[in-house]
Amino acid sequence: MLYLVGLGLGDETDITLKGLEVVKKSARVYLEAYTSILLVDKSILESYYGREVIIADREMVESSSDEILEGADTVDVAFLVVGDPFGATTHTDLVIRAREKSIPVRTVPNASILSAIGAAGLQLYHFGQTVSMVFFTDNWRPASFYDRIRENRSIGLHTLVLLDIKVKEQSLENMARGRKIYEPPRYMTVGQCAQQMLEIEEEKKEGVYGPESLAVGAARVGGETEKFVAGTLKELCDADDILGGPLHSLILLGTGTHELEHEYVREFALDKENWDRIWAENYQSKK
């Protein structure tokens, strides 16, 4: 059996009892380590689980999945995923490859950012399409997220923006030369995301959001040092020191924000008076 086991978002203790039983009985245990990161080192997981944990990087999962699946038709193999197993499409692909080899698959779900973000105080059924923000380069500034945010905003829904992480990435030069030299890990911050969004708005000038748009920055959701900061996009460009280290996410408020949501999120506001003013003028639900 191939087991896809969700680890939750915080530390080694967030695994479910069912997931822990799977880990302890499996012949091999892999940890997917590029779509997200846990807030503790691999060594802590190994100590808690009492098992060796094999790091599965992007290259292994996407190009060498046979190594992970080897023998999984006769022994149990555990594939650990930060958050919930199906929070990334890569894991869907792994299941399809297992099916092609007639390997049975089971999933042990857990909390993901898609559900845990409710701790910010915004009701989950008021969220629209989730989008991703990648690091811009000098010649690559993808903006497909803009249209999805526009669609969400047009019907008053919030948008969760997931921020880019770069783990075990090669530079274009090293990739072209076939050199296995990897760049240091990088994790996008709320400030970087807010700045890039404002740059795209300046280019498109469609008024989907701007410097005065309200948003919530989130850091280490589900962990002991979880942190939320609310303000305008302009304010959040300079809020990284308050939020602290990775991982970060960003929420753009929908225009039909409920009063209970406003009251809850207001406690995170950098400038409560400014937050109240902008919310009353542009975001208060008319229902």
Point out the annotated binding site for S-adenosyl-L-methionine: 9, 84, 87, 112-113, 163, 221, 248
- Tell me if the bond preceding 31 is cis, omega within 30° of 0: no
d(CA 236, CA 188): 13
Residues whose CB is less than 8 angstroms from the CB of residue 196 and which lie 6 or more positions away in sequence, other chains included: 133, 136, 141
Q: Do the strands 165-166 and 186-187 form a parallel or antiparallel pair, or are they unpaired?
A: antiparallel
d(CA 245, CA 277): 30
Compute how many other C-beta atoms are within 10 angstroms of the C-beta atom of residue 219: 22
* Residue 102 exposed, middle or buried by CB count within 10 Å (0-12, 13-18, 19+): exposed
Question: Would you list the DSSP string of 31-67?
Answer: EE-SS---SS-HHHHHHHHTS--EEE-HHHHHH-HHH
Which residue in the block uniquely carries the two structure tokens 């695994």?
Answer: 15
Contact between 284 and 259 under an 8 Å Cβ cutoff? The reply is yes
Which residue from 162, 172, 180, 163 is spatially nearest to 137, judged by alpha carbons?
A: 172
| Token code pair at residue 146 | 């803009």
Full strand arrangement of the beta sheet holding 214-219: 131-133, 159-163, 248-252, 214-219, 227-232
Q: Which residues are annotated as a binding site?
A: 9, 84, 87, 112-113, 163, 221, 248
